[in-house]
Amino acid sequence: MERIATAVINPLSRELGSELESAYLYGSVPQRTYEMGESDINLLLVVAETMDIHRLRRSFLPLWQEYGRRLRRAPLLATRRTLARHLLLNPVLAHHLAIEGRPLLQSGGLLAGLPAQPTLTAEDNCAYWAQEVLLASMALAPALWSPEDQLQHMRRLRSLGRRLLRQNASPQETAVVLFARIHTRLASLISKLPDDYGWESTRVATSPLVPGLQATYTKDTESIILVFSQFSAEQLSSINWPKLAERLAKEYKGFYVTNSQQLRLIHQFEAPLDLFFKRIKRTWGEDPLQGLTPTNYHKLRQAARRPSAILLDALPQAYLTSRDDEMGKLIHDVQNRLLNVQLEGELLARLGLTTMAKPPVPLPGREASPQERINAILGHLDWWSEHYTQAMLAAAD
C-alpha cells in the first residue's frame, strides 16, 4: 500500500513541479491497521495557492484509473492556508496528522510552515469519538438497510474499531460484539475527563425489548436515536436487534445508539447546532440534554467545518475522480450543499451568532463552463469557511 501511494505521488510531483508543495500518507497504512478490501489509502496533497485544480485532475485521472480500486478515495486537497484553518477546526485530525502522518515528498513534518498545532482537549477528543461511535451504531440494525448499505455500515464500524482500538477486527466478530468493545474503550477515555458529563436517572424502558433504555430522540424527523443510561457487553447482547430494527423500520429511515453521557458530549462539542436548531427532538423518557449550554465558539466551529470539509474533501473526491460527462450532476450536487451552507449562515445571522453576509462575487450561471463553475464554488466554500472561522475566533475572545 505504501508503494501504491508512492506510485501515485511521484508522477504527480514530476508533472506539477513546485505547485505540489508536499504530500502525506495518514490513516490505517502508517498506523499498521490497514485491512485489504476495506481500508482506504489516505493521502493529503498540499498545493500552492496558484494550483489549477483542472490541471491536477488531468494528471490524477490516469492514476485513479490504474490505482483507484486500491486507493478507494482521492486525496484531501489543501493549500497551506486552507489546511491550517481546517486543522484548527478539526483538532483530532490535526493531532493524528502531526503524530502519524508520513511525508512522501517533504521531510520537514506536516505542520512545518503552519501555525502552532491546535490544542486537543480531552473533552474534544472524547466528543469526537462519541460522534463516530454514534454514526457507526447503524451497523447494529442491518434489517433497516439494503444489502449495499449494510456492507457500508459494517465497514464503517470495522474502520472505527481499527482507529480507536488500533487493531483489526476478526472477520467472524459480529457488529454487536465489536460495538461493545469499541464502547468499552470509549468509556475508559470518558472516565478520565476532568468534569462529569454524565446524567443520572432511575427511569427504565417500558419494553423488555430494550433494557436500559433511558430516552429516545428523533433526528431531522426521519431517524431515531436510542439513548441508554450505560452500556455493557451483556446488555448489548441481550437486545434482539433484528426484531427491534423490524419494529423501527415502520416509522424511521435511520437508527442510532448511544448513551446519555456520550450524547451530552456530542451536543456540547461536536454537534451543538443540532440542539440549537432543534434538529434533534426528545420523543420519550428523560432528557439527558437538559441544561446543556454549548458555547458560541463550538456552534460556529461546527458551522465552519461543513464548508471546509466540502472544500478539502468532498469536492476534490468527486471532481478528481469523475468523468467529463458527470460534471453536470457533480456541480448540481455541490451547489445544493453550498446552498445549505448559505441558508444556515442566514439563520445563524438572524439568531445573532454572526453578521449577515455573503461572498462578494455571485456564482456564475449554467452558461459558464464547468471549470469556471467549479472555480467559483471553491471560492465560495473558502469564503464561508473563513467567515465562520473568524466568527468562531471572535466568540472565543
Tens of pLDDT along the chain (397 residues) come to 778 888 999 999 999 998 998 899 998 888 888 888 788 889 999 999 999 999 999 999 999 999 999 999 999 999 999 999 999 999 999 999 888 888 888 655 555 666 667 889 999 999 999 999 999 999 998 888 889 998 999 999 999 999 999 888 888 899 999 999 999 999 999 989 876 666 666 666 667 788 888 899 998 888 999 998 877 778 888 888 888 888 888 888 888 999 999 999 999 999 999 999 999 999 998 899 988 999 999 999 999 999 999 999 999 999 999 999 999 999 999 999 999 999 999 999 999 999 999 999 999 999 999 999 999 999 999 999 999 999 999 998 7
Provide the domain limits for residue 278.
123-129+171-285
374 lies in a domain?
yes
Which of 285, 315, 338 is where one domain is finished?
Answer: 285
C-alpha cell at 102: 508520513
The torsion of the CA quartet 318, 320, 322, 323, rounded to 10 degrees, works out to 160
Rounded Cα distance between 350 and 340, Å, is 15
274 and 299 both lie in a single domain: no
Say if residues 9 and 16 touch (Cβ distance below 8 Å).
no
Q: Are residues 275 and 331 in the same domain?
A: no
Q: Of 264, 285, 306, which residue is a domain's last?
A: 285
Whether 265 and 336 share a structural domain: no
153 in Cβ contact with 142 (< 8 Å): yes
Pick the last residue of a domain from 232, 257, 285: 285
Supply the Cα-derived Rg of the chain in whole angstroms: 22
| Total number of domains constituting the chain | 3
- In this structure, the number of other CB atoms found within 10 A of the CB of residue 317 comes to 16
Please give the DSSP secondary-structure letter assigned to residue 34.
-
Question: Using an 8 Å Cβ cutoff, are 257 and 248 in contact?
Answer: no
Pair 333, 315 in one domain: yes
